[in-house]
């Protein structure tokens, strides 16, 4: 602090001395933090007096505090802000290097210092966005929770101070090329720092990018899926009712997450998020979301139906749609049933047929709440028996074929047990087969 105030050649060493003093502003000891802030305020005011001519316009017409400025944070003096801004091009490369240092303490200090620098630089960080984002992508993958926490806070400050047009262009392009959990973590943080009205013009682009197969299906790891869901939750929280414009895209993301994860806790979070999305659109329940978009969702997954195997994400998405949509399924039976018929032909992947038959038998047991919710399923009974069940009941050698026959019999039993078939419908089929 004394060097920054009294050193004769201090102007030549600002970029070396400023990090030393500002690092103390996040010290664990309160009295050191207070002393550092006191010194820093004096340094800023002295530099402001010494450069009064250069700062005349800014002093006379000082920029107002940004609307989204972090609550609880006191805005630094103009001299302090200018000092950081004018030295930022030298400070950021050093922080970017230190934040991936092999010593944990160094990485922690670098992540803390970055927050302080961003609070001082405000919208001047726009010209350093590429370096900042690449730095945060790396630090968000750190093993140390505190470093990740500080990195997320830095990303939120970017959302506060930088125009979304700038950071979205960089982040969404990176996501599209090679999505990873760190990219999604940074995206959710900058969205959280921004505001609904500012983000509104960019909502469609954000939603479309998140719903891209290369993004929403990029990984089945729990960490990745959690960050993906966090992006959706942040959009709903920040943008509220405006999310109705991208509810289809957000629904696609959540259907994909439910389809690929086996973690029940994450599935529960998805259900709550679906309920929130319905609430901000003034809908009664998440079923109304499916009702709005069921036709588009079926078309979305069925586009590659001829290529499905048991490992296809689209096949699992289809299962999620028909099991989660409840009575809405009966309203869309004319679109769902052709897909079921095509996928349950004997020439299709046996394991996929096993899974679909299992789902179908469960739906048949609750047919009045699912397939027959509109009383229209009787129109498809003949197709179900003649084109789906009977071909799969024919004997073929092998254990897999035997398993398929068994589950097909289970579906037939479920159909009879569901009481959809009347006695008049049962007898002709019994005579024929």
pLDDT for 227-248, tens place per residue?
999 999 999 999 999 999 999 9
Residue scoring higher pLDDT (27 or 330): 330
Residue scoring higher pLDDT (51 or 372): 372
User: Which residues, 6 or more positions from 135, have their beta carbon under 8 angstroms from its beta carbon?
Assistant: 92, 95, 96, 99, 114
Q: Is the pLDDT of residue 322 over 90?
A: yes
Q: Is the pLDDT of residue 2 over 70?
A: no
Q: Is the pLDDT of residue 428 over 90?
A: no
pLDDT of residue 429: 46
| Interval 246-261 mean pLDDT | 96
pLDDT of residue 15: 75
Q: Band of the pLDDT at 421, cuts 50, 70, 90?
A: low
Cα-based distances in Å from 107 to 23, 91, 113, 149, 204: 12, 15, 10, 12, 36
pLDDT of residue 209: 96
- Mean predicted lDDT score pLDDT of the chain: 90
Cα separation, 279 vs 236, whole angstroms: 10
Q: Is the pLDDT of residue 426 over 60?
A: no
Cα separation, 374 vs 393, whole angstroms: 29
pLDDT of residue 32: 87
CB–CB of 119/73 below 8 Å? yes
Cα separation, 366 vs 423, whole angstroms: 19
Q: Is the pLDDT of residue 171 over 80?
A: yes
Q: Is the pLDDT of residue 1 over 70?
A: no
Q: Is the pLDDT of residue 53 over 80?
A: no
Of the listed ranges 5-9, 19-23, 290-294, the one predicted with least confidence: 5-9
Of the listed ranges 32-36, 53-57, 142-146, 256-260, the one predicted with least confidence: 53-57
pLDDT of residue 88: 93
Alpha helices per DSSP H over 261-417: 264-280, 286-302, 313-324, 328-331, 333-343, 350-365, 381-383, 390-393, 399-417
Residue scoring higher pLDDT (153 or 58): 153
| Interval 417-428 mean pLDDT | 62
pLDDT of residue 276: 96
The share of the chain scoring above pLDDT 90, in percent, equals 67
pLDDT of residue 224: 97
| 3-state class (DSSP) for residue 404 | helix
pLDDT of residue 433: 47
Domain 1-54+67-158 fold is 1.25.10
Q: Where are the domains of the chain?
A: 1-54+67-158, 163-283, 286-421
Residue keyed to tokens 């989204």 = 68
pLDDT of residue 8: 67
pLDDT of residue 24: 86
For the ranges 9-18, 75-84, 120-129, the maximum mean pLDDT occurs at: 120-129
Tens-digit pLDDT profile for residues 213-224: 999 999 999 999
pLDDT of residue 219: 93
Of the listed ranges 16-20, 130-134, 353-357, 387-391, the one predicted with least confidence: 16-20
pLDDT of residue 25: 84
Q: Which residues of 92-127 are buried (b: 16+ CB within 10 A; e: fewer)?
A: beebbebbeeeeeeebbbbbbbbbbbbbbbbebbee
Q: Is the pLDDT of residue 257 over 90?
A: yes
């Amino acid at each position: 602090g004394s060097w920054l105030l009294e050193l004769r050649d201090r102007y030549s060493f600002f970029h070396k001395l400023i990090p030393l003093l500002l690092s103390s502003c996040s010290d664990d000891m309160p009295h050191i933090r207070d002393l550092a802030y006191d010194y820093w305020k004096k340094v800023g005011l002295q530099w402001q007096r010494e450069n009064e001519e250069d700062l005349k316009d800014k002093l006379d017409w000082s920029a107002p505090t940004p609307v989204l400025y972090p609550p609880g944070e006191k805005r630094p003096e103009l001299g302090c802000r200018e000092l950081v801004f004018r030295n930022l091009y030298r400070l950021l490369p050093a922080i970017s290097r230190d934040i991936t240092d092999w010593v944990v303490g160094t990485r922690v200090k670098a992540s803390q210092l970055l927050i302080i620098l961003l609070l001082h630089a405000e919208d001047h960080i726009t010209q350093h966005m590429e370096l900042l984002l690449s730095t945060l992508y790396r630090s968000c993958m750190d093993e140390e929770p505190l470093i990740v926490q500080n990195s997320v806070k830095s990303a939120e400050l970017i959302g506060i101070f930088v125009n979304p047009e700038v950071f979205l262009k960089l982040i969404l392009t990176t996501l599209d090329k090679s999505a990873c959990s760190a990219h999604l973590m940074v995206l959710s943080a900058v969205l959280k720092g921004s505001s609904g009205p500012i983000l509104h013009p960019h909502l469609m682009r954000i939603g479309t990018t998140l719903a891209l197969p290369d993004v929403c299906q990029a990984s089945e790891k729990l960490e990745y899926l959690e960050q993906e869901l966090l992006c959706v939750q942040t959009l709903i929280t920040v943008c509220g009712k405006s999310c109705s414009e991208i509810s289809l895209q957000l629904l696609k993301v959540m259907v994909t997450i439910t389809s690929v994860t086996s973690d029940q806790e994450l599935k529960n979070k998805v259900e709550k998020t679906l309920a929130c999305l319905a609430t901000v659109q003034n809908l009664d329940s998440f079923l109304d979301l499916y009702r709005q978009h069921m036709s588009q969702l079926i078309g979305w997954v069925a586009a590659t139906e001829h290529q499905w195997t048991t490992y296809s994400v689209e096949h699992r998405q289809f299962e999620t749609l028909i099991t989660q949509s409840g009575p809405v399924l009966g309203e869309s039976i004319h679109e769902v049933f052709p897909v079921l018929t095509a996928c349950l032909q004997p020439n299709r992947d046996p394991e996929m047929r096993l899974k679909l038959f299992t789902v179908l038998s469960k739906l048949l047991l609750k047919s009045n709440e699912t397939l027959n919710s509109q009383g229209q399923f009787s129109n498809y009974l003949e197709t179900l028996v003649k084109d789906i069940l009977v071909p799969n009941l024919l004997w073929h050698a092998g254990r897999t074929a035997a398993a398929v026959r068994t589950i097909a019999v289970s579906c037939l039993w479920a159909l009879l047990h569901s009481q959809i078939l009347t006695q008049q419908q049962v007898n002709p089929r019994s005579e024929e087969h």
